[in-house]
Amino acid sequence: MSSDICGILPRILIVSRRTVRKNKFVDFVGEYHLDLIVSYGGVPVIVPRVSGVHTLLNSFEPIHGVLLCEGEDIEACWYDHNDDHDSDGLDLSQEELEEIRRLHASDTSIDKEKDSIELSLAKLCLERNIPYLGICRGSQVLNVACGGTLYQDIGKELSKKCDQSQRVMHINYDDYDGHRHAVKLVKNTPLCHWFQGEEEEKEEGEEMEILVNSYHHQGVKKLAERFIPMAFASDGLIEGFYDPECYNPQDGKFIMGLQFHPERMRKPDSDEFDYPGCPFAYKEFVKAVIAYQKKLNSLTSVPKPLKLNKEMESKRKIIVRSFSLAKNLYTMGRGNCSSKDSELEIGAEFLEVLNSTFFIFI
């Protein structure tokens, strides 16, 4: 691999979201994701949500990292076969599903192509240990790709099992960006380490708690076995998880999902984060991406060809021609017999070494 290629910044794939503008579809990605990736040394590569792109993902190689973020609900067919319907007896009726579609119209418009693209990318990351960060829907994609399941609607399923004091509003359309709810961070997890020191010292055994934003009506129901929770809402919903076997940013390992949006946790009318730890998920993710790229380059790099001076280049050409002539004379009984003896002697010496090696192996 040339030094030019080795000097290229790591490529992080992000799948766009689709909206309608002037009666035409427009693909977009939130600016905060892009800003943070660039600021920490990565290059965002936007994968358009276009029909058939899920079959063309090899054209986006090399892939050094994948960031999947917000979007519509994942179609239930991708995970309902993994669900134990007898575990809570809360299968949703057709009437309830219709009500959910009315309440969350923008989220419940299923995007089959985006599902296919993102699930394919998530599985590729898991197969090749490519660093992966899932935000909001992206965390749900990661869980589903590993065999986990989702609540089709938290209000209709999870909240029914909770006391009134435990219930959480996970989306507030009247205060979309300002809405916050508390989550408790699991000790000795990356998320807890990033936010340590954000609060006054806790009593021994007391869990750290932060306020996070929330824009979702679905969430993790059954967490895939490979993952460990990092945060819980008071209703028991998992708000963050990671794979401890695939977490070592310095070594290029990072597989994580966050249900909330740390990149959007900012003070009103300001770009100042709610907590200094908010951008750390992106910082550590890009760190892992950079390390992964270095490992990939070391495995695929090819030494530069030796630069010969004029004298050596002249001899190289004589050897190549002599070998060609000698081969023809030996195998086919024909060649340019008017070649200089010195040239054929060099070719003979070359063949002598080659034949000696050949006879050793036979």
Would you please indicate which residues are annotated as catalytic (active-site) residues?
136, 261, 263
| 168 residue type, one letter | V
Q: Record the tokens describing residue 63, joined without a space.
A: 């892939």
Cβ partners under 8 Å of residue 181, min gap 6: 168, 169, 170, 211, 212, 214, 233, 234
Question: Residue 96 to residues 103, 150, 308, 348: CA-CA distances in angstroms?
Answer: 11, 16, 76, 86
Q: Cβ–Cβ contacts within 10 Å for residue 92, how many?
A: 16
CB 212 within 8 A of CB 144: no
Q: Record the tokens describing residue 260, joined without a space.
A: 């909330």
Kind and range of the H or E run holding 292: helix 280-300
Q: Residue 261 CA to chain centroid, in angstroms?
A: 16
User: What is the rounded distance in angstroms from the CA atom of residue 134 to the CA atom of residue 240?
Assistant: 10
User: What is the rounded distance in angstroms from the CA atom of residue 151 to the CA atom of residue 80?
Assistant: 10
CB 191 within 8 A of CB 254: no
User: What is the rounded distance in angstroms from the CA atom of residue 192 to the CA atom of residue 243?
Assistant: 15
Helix or strand or coil: residue 238?
Answer: strand
Q: What is the 3-state secondary structure (H, E, C) of 8-33?
A: CCCEEEEECEEEEECCEEEEECCHHH
Q: Rg (Cα) of the chain, in Å, rounded?
A: 29
User: What is the rounded distance in angstroms from the CA atom of residue 247 to the CA atom of residue 132?
Assistant: 10
Per DSSP, which regions of 213-285 are E strands? Answer: 219-220, 228-233, 238-248, 253-258
